[in-house]
Amino acid sequence: MRVSDILRSKGTDVVTLSPSATVAEAVSRLAELSFGALVVSADGSAVDGIISERDIVRSLDTDADTLGSAVSELMTSDVVTCSTSDNIADLMALMTSRRIRHLPVVADDKMVGLVSIGDVVKARLAELEDERRHLEDYITTGR
Provide the residue-wise pLDDT of the chain in tens; the chain has 143 residues. Answer: 899 999 999 999 999 999 999 999 999 999 999 999 999 999 999 999 999 999 999 999 888 888 999 999 999 999 999 999 999 999 999 999 999 999 999 999 899 999 999 999 999 898 889 889 888 888 888 77
Q: What is the pLDDT of residue 62?
A: 87
Determine the pLDDT at residue 143.
72
For the chain, what is the total number of helices (H) and then of strands (E)?
6, 5
Domains of the chain in start order, with CATH, are 3-141 (3.10.580.10)
Instruction: Report pLDDT for 142.
Output: 76
H-only helix segments in 39-116 = 53-62, 71-74, 88-98
